[in-house]
Amino acid sequence: MKYALVNGDRQEAKAGLRGVCQACDLPMTPKCGQQRIHHWAHRTVNCDAWWERETLWHRDWKNRFPQEWQENRITGPEGDFHIADVRTHYGTVLEFQHSHLSAVDRRLREAFYGNMAWIVDGMRNGKDPATFASFLSANIPDYGKVRGWRFQLRRFPLVDNWVSATSPVYLDFGDTIFPNTGLPPHELLWRIKKARTGRVIVTPFLRQNVIDHYKLSTPLEGFDPHPPPSGPQDYRSMDWP
Ligand SMILES: [Zn+2]
């Protein structure tokens, strides 16, 4: 974890410090080696079975939000608890998911956190950015209130695995450039959502726009449709907030 309590204050890991877990009060050890980002580890097993080994990607995402929103203990009705990556001032939990998550586990977390959104690391599997790009170029952009692309749901586990989520899901392909899309060359997040036809709509947003949406409660603003809408658009009534 990024934080432990040292004499009652949240602190980042540093060699020589002694801390306790802010969720379970058990002792934690600072890990400040060369291989992984500096972090705190429980001396025994992590009290949060949902905790994912942190990567630089996780840490970068947490750091885009105020410190006091990061790594918040959320307690369920039966006293069980988990540590949310970020819990915003507005009560939304943001989970930054790097590794594969089964549908069962995803549903459990969505039920526990309620008001939440997923940011999914699209760079974990080296082939996924190229596969995603090939889907974009093979499909004509679809125009509703904002620009999006409509995919057939097939043979793309990264999208297939997340399309049934009940909470918003944003794929993060880092600075991958998707040519010939008419979009800015980097810093996008792609929201995925099932369309009524059973297909998938992927909608790009500027990464900063999504961050601001959760950080400042500003509206999510997709890219203007161009050319103007024509033909069937089965997602125009989608509930974009
Ligand atoms: Zn703990």
Dist. CA 186 → ligand 1 center (Å): 37
Dist. CA 11 → ligand 1 center (Å): 15
Dist. CA 179 → ligand 1 center (Å): 45
What pLDDT score was predicted for residue 180? 80
What pLDDT score was predicted for residue 235? 43
What pLDDT score was predicted for residue 76? 94
Query: Tell me: the pLDDT tens digits for 34-88?
Result: 989 999 999 989 999 999 999 999 999 999 999 999 999 999 999 999 999 999 9
Dist. CA 118 → ligand 1 center (Å): 23
Dist. CA 45 → ligand 1 center (Å): 8
What pLDDT score was predicted for residue 227? 56
What pLDDT score was predicted for residue 11? 97
DSSP assignment of 162-231, as one string? TTT-SS-EEEE-TT---TTSSS-SS-EEEEEEE-TTS-EEEEEEEHHHHHHHHHH-PPP--PPPSS---S
What pLDDT score was predicted for residue 25? 95
**Is residue 147 within a helix (H) or strand (E), and if so which, with residue range?**
strand 147-151
What pLDDT score was predicted for residue 226? 63
Dist. CA 112 → ligand 1 center (Å): 18
What pLDDT score was predicted for residue 49? 93
> What does each C-alpha distance from 111 to 16, 74, 87, 115, 121 come to in angstroms?
39, 13, 15, 9, 21
What pLDDT score was predicted for residue 216? 96
Dist. CA 42 → ligand 1 center (Å): 6
Dist. CA 34 → ligand 1 center (Å): 24
- Report residue 233: phi and psi, to 5°: -130, 95
What pLDDT score was predicted for residue 138? 87
Sheet holding 141-143, edge to edge: 70-75, 81-87, 93-97, 116-121, 169-172, 188-194, 200-206, 147-151, 141-143
What pLDDT score was predicted for residue 239? 47
Dist. CA 124 → ligand 1 center (Å): 27
What pLDDT score was predicted for residue 118? 98
Dist. CA 135 → ligand 1 center (Å): 42
Dist. CA 174 → ligand 1 center (Å): 31
Dist. CA 89 → ligand 1 center (Å): 23
Dist. CA 28 → ligand 1 center (Å): 8
Dist. CA 161 → ligand 1 center (Å): 29
Domain boundaries, the chain: 1-47, 51-216
pLDDT under 70 in the chain at which residues?
153, 226-241
